[in-house]
Amino acid sequence: MSERRVYLDHAATTPVLPKVIDVVAATMATLGNPSSLHASGRRARKLVEEARESVAASLGARPSEVVFTSGGTEADNLAVKGIYWARRAADPRRTRILASAVEHHAVMDPVHWLAAEQGAKVEWLPVDHSGRLDTAALRRVLDHDPDSVALVTVMWANNEVGTVQPVGEVVGIARQHGIPVHSDAVQAVGQVPVHFGDSGLDAMTVSGHKAGGPVGVGALLARRELDLVPVTHGGGQERDVRSGTLDAPAVAGLAAALRAAVADVSGHAAALAGLRDRLVDGVTREVPDAIRNGDPAHVLPGHAHFSFLGCEGDSLLLLLDAAGIDCSTGSACTAGVPEPSHVLLAMGADPALARGSLRFTLGGTTTADDVDVLVRAIGPVVERARAAGVVNVSNGGK
């Protein structure tokens, strides 16, 4: 009999919903390339277009605004690079990219690449100690030579600490200067209301596996009037901006997942928030000096992020893993060397404290028992991690 595990890493990936599995399994038997003109191709195309209409309805968009991709990373690359190239081609002065300092690497790395290889001038917009964008700073930056700005990109909600960004205010500020805005909404869909049309955004990224759907499928919602230069070239599918044969079963699964995700956002959010508060109360009771990160007034209902004094995040994660609990660290590991999270550093956290962080994220399968298992484990785990740190220091780090 397999060990029961407590899964508290829904921000990394979510369990595929049973109804989505059924949809994907059923549609995988449909033969045909959606770009073919014969009857089999038309059947496959019908699946794709029905999925497109469903995704649009779920997210408050027009079907013609839905561009299917292989996931959030591809959609972010298409948005950031595609908008930048199109805007710069229309006016060579437009070389500036404004991005929040806490973006996911799916946005941050393409921006860095454009700076290194394409002559972009990047300005990282500051956030406050809770990870929320400083919109006054955005106003100041845009007031200085707005005609040179190609785009603004600000995520809807942060993947690490869960802070929800003032996207509407960002759009309002940028619109005064006619500058397009992109937002990575991967973490937000299904946890807070997300309506592309009402948001005023020019482009928005979503991903299937963050919302109970399959891995390997997502979408970029892009206004029809938005010019995008393709990142990949080939058959000219998806408005000529995303070539490649579409995976009809995957997009059908994405559509089914998003329908479920938005069916009762307020009820789902309330349930998650109740469990999250139970977790936060329990962790702070068991580890009184634990520091909760993020903005409690503007946070995703399923996110709880903590820093633990005197601990290494990797040690905490492995100790919890051994106890049957899955979670995530607040740090990235590059070439085997732990680095503090760029998100926490942008929030002003001490690098040593940032390295001792954990992210707990809840979802539709999370129960009160799951939370209680973590609460019982966290105190002893932190004690062991701190003891290990003391030993390592006393041994000169060996």
Q: What is the rounded end-to-end Cα distance, in angstroms, of the chain?
A: 39
Quote the distance between the C-alpha of residue 18 and its chain's center: 23
> CB within 8 A of 343, min separation 6: which ones?
102, 131, 158, 160, 161, 330
SS3 32: coil
- From 90, 333, 368, 393, the catalytic residue: 333
Instruction: Determine the Cα–Cα distance for residues 195 and 316; give it in Å rounded to an integer.
Output: 38
Residue 204: phi and psi, rounded to 5, are -150, 135
Instruction: Determine the Cα–Cα distance for residues 367 and 308; give it in Å rounded to an integer.
Output: 24
Radius of gyration for the chain, computed over Cα atoms and rounded to the nearest angstrom: 22
Give the pairing of strands 303-307 and 325-326. unpaired
CB-based contact 163:130 (threshold 8 Å): yes
Nearest to 155 by CA among 317, 305, 346: 346
Answer yes or no: 333 catalytic.
yes
Active-site residue set:
333
